[in-house]
Amino acid sequence: MPIEGSQYLDPDILRQLPNMELIAKRLVESVFVGYHRSPYFGFSVEFADHREYVHGDDLRTVDWKVWARKNRYYVKRFEMENELKATIILDTSRSMDYGTGKLTKLQYGSYLAATLVYLLMQQNDMAGLVTFDESIRHYIPPRGSRAHMRSILQALGTVKPGPATNVARVCHDLAETIKARGMIILISDMLDGGTGNGNGTGDAVHALRHFQHRKHDVIVFHVMDDSELDLPFDELSNFRDLESGQRLAVDPSTFRKVYRQRVQSFVDGMRQECVKSNIDYKLVRTSMPIEAVLTEYLHFRARRSR
């Protein structure tokens, strides 16, 4: 019987992804992460988990007791190992529960999160998941085992849209909580009413800089529905703010131009602030195939990491 949330790990998406690493553009704990192993041998006293043996692993890490039980080779992982620790932060607020296509923003973000977790674990790195609205709902620290993957999928399968978003407060809290340097991947529509520079990006970007102050590598996938960007409606409509519940009757044709300009200003402001802060920013429409989004981003990531 499929586990809850397993629908977000779509084999059709995985088959179309390139055979590439998600390369961190910075050094983590003084060595390259992922496939780039530390030249130094050492362990901490804290056991993390097991993973299957792959060719080239140090035989001193093999857990022979597990081999005796299962007749398969597994190696022990400890906190001092230098795999990348990536935390995926998924916005599950009410505004994410909107969509005019096949998927809501929240469903799209869940597919994106599950696929990123799979990619990270395939390259022997560790992935964790945080879901949040105005506060944190799930917190699953980074690990790399198959059982951990199932835990993340189960969490995604139980997600329900919550109240209004507070991206800034949650990110500040997480920046103080996550101690080990690694990668932070935020998936959000960024619609939390932030202030600070006139286009609603100030508070959120300030919070993302908090991660950078803690030496994390930060990536933002800014997920928006096509209708939010284009306002394609023609007839008089009754619009409702998904986070506040307020309603407003509007003739879209009378202010479409102004609306598009303001949305473009918001997106451009977010992109510019991220670029200035050396934060990777990717605007994602929910009409875009996830495999195309990730392929494009991974190629970009590989180029800038050379």
Task: Report the pLDDT value the prediction gives residue 235, as an integer from 0 to 100.
Answer: 59
How far does CA 177 lie from the centroid of its chain? 17
| 81, pLDDT greater than 60 | no
Q: 58 falls in which pLDDT band (50, 70, 90)?
A: confident
Closest listed residue to residue 92, CA positions, set 78, 104, 77, 76 = 104
Task: Report the pLDDT value the prediction gives residue 125, as an integer from 0 to 100.
Answer: 87
Give residue-wise pLDDT tens across range 196-237. 444 456 889 999 999 999 999 999 999 999 999 988 766 555
Tokens of 52: 């299957």
CATH 3.40.50.410, the chain: domain bounds: 6-20+82-304
| 265, pLDDT greater than 50 | yes
Closest listed residue to residue 193, CA positions, set 203, 183, 207, 206 = 203
Task: Report the pLDDT value the prediction gives residue 36, as an integer from 0 to 100.
Answer: 43
- Find the helix packing angle between 252-276 and 202-213, rounded to 10°: 20
At residue 267, what is the residue type?
Answer: V
| 266, pLDDT greater than 50 | yes
pTM of the predicted structure, to 2 decimals = 0.78
Give residue-wise pLDDT tens across range 115-127. 999 999 888 889 9
Given this structure, which CATH class describes domain 6-20+82-304?
A: alpha beta
